[in-house]
Amino acid sequence: MSDMDFKAIIAARAALELQDGDIVNLGVGIPTLVVNYLPEGREVFMHTENGLLGVGPTPAPDHVDPDLINASKLPVTQTVGCSFFASDESFAMIRGGHIDVTILGALQVDTRGRVANWSVPGKPILGVGGAMDLLIGAKRVIVTMSHTDRNGNPKIVEECTLPLTADRNVNVVITDLAVFKVEPQGLVLTELLSGATLDEVTAKTGARFDVKLVETTTG
């Protein structure tokens, strides 16, 4: 499976989590691809923490406005009915619970559904960005990530070895192999993606999880 394939699978599945009318904040990486997989007719409103509600698709190269970027610092467009605001107001929206869903990448997820995604081992900590605010503020948090790291090691682990981003658990974890819902008791495997088997997912997951498989919707 190519790198693009696995990202597409994750993004397509994540798109199904978005409900009509949702206010959505997308993190860097795979999350930015989610907009490409929205079901026909589903209207969601994209928020970016640098101050825009109503982020539109990537512009053609000759239509780039240098003053119009998303939180990944990539050029975007604005939708009809959008609004601009300052960073402090944007984070007031985030912390205040006005964002319905945020989709974020992660380096590790623990058995309780808590994530580590801001600090890389062995490197000085020089960036945190808005991840901590999004994690504590968004009504629902969806994590999208590859099931294992580039060395094949599980990213879903009993306890994160990297520092946690928040003490709050996320709601859904979507990888190229599986979907986990986070219930009060911890991770629950609900779907297998990409033709993965339960044995394969179990082997590649470093944390306990319950299994309550429902019908797979993609992959």
Shorter beta-carbon distance to other proteins: residue 73 or 150: 73
Given a contact cutoff of 8 angstroms between Cβ atoms, the answer to whether 47 and 24 are in contact is: yes
Stretch that binds other proteins, among 15-23, 56-64, 151-159, 183-191 (CB under 8 A): 15-23
Query: Rg of the Cα trace of the chain?
Result: 17
Length of the chain in residues, anyone? Answer: 219
Q: Considering the rule CB under 8 A, would residue 87 count as an interface residue with other proteins?
A: yes
Annotate 133-195 with DSSP letters as a single string: HHHHH-SEEEEE--SB-TTS-BSEESS-SSPPS-SS--SEEE-SSEEEEEETTEEEEEEE-TT
- One of 37, 95, 200, 216 touching other proteins (CB under 8 A): 95
Residues in the interface with other proteins (CB under 8 A) total 61
CA angle 89, 93, 95 (to 5 degrees): 110
Q: Considering the rule CB under 8 A, would residue 125 count as an interface residue with other proteins?
A: yes
Q: Considering the rule CB under 8 A, would residue 96 count as an interface residue with other proteins?
A: yes
Query: In whole angstroms, how close is the CB of 159 to other proteins at the nearest point?
Result: 14
| Residue whose token pair is 């590649």 | 204
Q: Considering the rule CB under 8 A, would residue 124 count as an interface residue with other proteins?
A: yes
Q: In what order do the strands lie in the sheet with 156-157?
A: 115-116, 108-110, 156-157
Residues forming the active site: 49
Q: Which of these, 6, 45, 52, 50, lies nearest to 29 by C-alpha position?
A: 6
Q: Considering the rule CB under 8 A, would residue 47 count as an interface residue with other proteins?
A: yes
- Provide the pairing of β-strand 45-48 with 52-56: antiparallel
Q: Considering the rule CB under 8 A, would residue 115 count as an interface residue with other proteins?
A: no
Stretch that binds other proteins, among 44-52, 145-153, 174-182, 198-206 (CB under 8 A): 44-52
Q: Of residues 164-183, which lie at the interface with other proteins (CB under 8 A)?
A: 164-168
- One of 3, 62, 88, 199 touching other proteins (CB under 8 A): 88
Write each residue from 52 to 81 as x if it is in contact with other proteins (CB under 8 A), else as -, in one continuous string.
xxx----------xxxxxxx-x----x-xx
- Distance separating alpha carbons of residues 203 and 119, to the nearest angstrom: 26
Contact residues for other proteins (CB under 8 A)? 20-21, 23, 43, 45, 47-54, 65-71, 73, 78, 80-88, 90-99, 119, 123-133, 136-137, 163-168
